[in-house]
């Protein structure tokens, strides 16, 4: 079997219980106080269960949150860029104390796990938003989540997951880190590049992934399927796009499609680090970071982050602290002059870019028009056209 990269922190930390321990705690959970989780917190809990958030063992306490926000490190010095927080208004958790257990449920009040409370602390929502996202503008979806869905009191402690989320969608693609690692090892992939996406893959993305595939043994297309903002393309539509693209334009034996269960935070540079570290837990050795990774625009259409902030942030750390090699790609497009995909690094002088703005692209799809094949593959365009018709 191939020697795989170690998980972040050295050990894959899975917080799911089984057997008699699970049964005993599940019985106890029925009589515990309950906290109903938001969708993004359900994703966090599920990732804690399977080790995707290694080395974390639960929701962060005060010292961990402050360390991550201020230095992008856990208190022991391990790089970690975004706080994983469970917080509620004080009046909802006022009777809880350190040492208590509380059951964590989904929207239907099904018990998913138990939080073993080690720390109850004042959660500074303003500081959380400002330091994690670089803004306190509630038009930013990550800020809005912190300010409106969390609360002023944080609950930190290890979790014991009793029931994994029973997802009905993409079941064959929901692979835990130990499963992707087993797959890579079986195929002898020692180096694996990963591509994070919350959008359909267009020709520029296809180019980036194939360049990465030139220098690694395999490629993991790992789209995020947790909670996203309302105007993003739904995950089920995107998955159809990925499948048709891989079936027709990629080498089948060197590419794996699996889904990433995280919720989107739209945290730009900090989220780029978070995405890379999580993929390390899945067995990935190389991670693609393009222009404005995990970015989002304000009401005026301006990005909250600079075009290459998500690449430059990695320069703050020693390569071995991240442990994953970062592919930093420039903006790419099809050039009529050279008749191929180019980037700012490779384009000839007076390059003739074939480009379509996002607004123009949406207008074309809404009208049932296939965009230029230099922009998107026709099979992908057709799926998006059908989606637009349905809307």
Which ranges in 30-123 belong to alpha helices (H)? 39-50, 62-71, 90-93
**Residue 294 near residue 202 (C-beta atoms within 8 A):** no
Please tell me whether residue 325 adopts helix, strand or coil conformation: strand
Q: Which residue is catalytic, options 76, 110, 148, 199? A: 199
Please tell me whether residue 241 adopts helix, strand or coil conformation: helix
Task: Give, as one character, the DSSP assignment of residue 173.
Answer: G
Contacts 24+ apart (CB under 8 A), 164-173: 164/16, 164/46, 164/49, 164/50, 164/112, 165/42, 165/46, 165/106, 165/112, 167/261, 169/225, 169/235, 169/236, 170/225, 170/235, 170/236, 170/239, 170/259, 173/239, 173/257, 173/258, 173/259
198 given a catalytic annotation: yes
Q: Which residue is catalytic, options 88, 145, 198, 377? A: 198
**Residue 351 near residue 368 (C-beta atoms within 8 A):** no
199 given a catalytic annotation: yes
| Dihedral (CA of 339, 344, 347, 349) sign | positive
Active site positions, annotated: 198-199
């Amino acid at each position: 079997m191939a020697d795989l990269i170690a998980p972040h922190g050295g050990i894959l930390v899975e917080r799911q219980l089984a057997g008699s321990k699970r049964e005993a705690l599940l019985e106890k959970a029925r009589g515990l106080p309950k906290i109903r989780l938001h969708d993004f917190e359900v994703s966090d809990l599920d990732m804690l269960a399977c080790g995707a958030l290694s080395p974390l063992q639960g929701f962060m306490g005060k010292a961990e949150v402050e360390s991550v926000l201020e230095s992008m490190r856990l208190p022991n010095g391990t790089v970690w860029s975004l706080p994983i927080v469970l917080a509620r208004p004080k009046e909802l958790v006022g009777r809880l104390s350190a040492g208590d257990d509380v059951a964590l449920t989904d929207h239907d009040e099904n018990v998913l796990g138990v939080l073993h409370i080690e720390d109850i602390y004042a959660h500074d929502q303003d500081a959380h938003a400002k330091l994690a996202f670089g803004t306190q503008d509630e038009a930013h979806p990550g800020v809005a989540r912190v300010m409106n869905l969390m609360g002023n009191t944080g609950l930190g402690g290890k979790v014991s997951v009793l029931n994994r989320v029973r997802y009905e969608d993409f079941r064959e693609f929901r692979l835990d880190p130990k499963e992707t690692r087993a797959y890579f090892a079986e195929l002898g992939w020692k180096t694996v590049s990963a591509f994070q996406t919350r959008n359909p893959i267009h020709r520029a993305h296809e180019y980036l992934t194939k360049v990465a595939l030139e220098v690694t043994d395999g490629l993991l297309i790992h789209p995020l399927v947790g909670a996203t903002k309302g105007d993003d393309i739904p995950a089920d539509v995107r998955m159809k796009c990925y499948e048709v693209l891989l079936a027709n334009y990629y080498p089948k034996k060197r590419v794996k499609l699996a889904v990433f269960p995280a919720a989107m935070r739209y945290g730009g540079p900090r989220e780029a680090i978070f995405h890379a570290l999580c993929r390390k837990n899945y067995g990935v050795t190389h991670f693609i970071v393009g222009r404005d990774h995990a970015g989002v625009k304000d009401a005026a259409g301006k990005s909250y982050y600079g075009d290459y902030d998500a690449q430059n942030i990695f320069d703050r750390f020693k390569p071995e602290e991240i442990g994953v090699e970062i592919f930093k790609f420039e903006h790419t497009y099809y050039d009529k002059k050279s008749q191929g995909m180019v980037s700012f690094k490779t384009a000839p002088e007076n390059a003739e870019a074939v480009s379509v703005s996002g607004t123009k692209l949406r207008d074309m799809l809404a009208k049932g028009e296939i965009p230029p094949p230099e922009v998107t593959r026709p099979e992908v365009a057709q799926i998006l056209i059908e989606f637009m018709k349905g809307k």
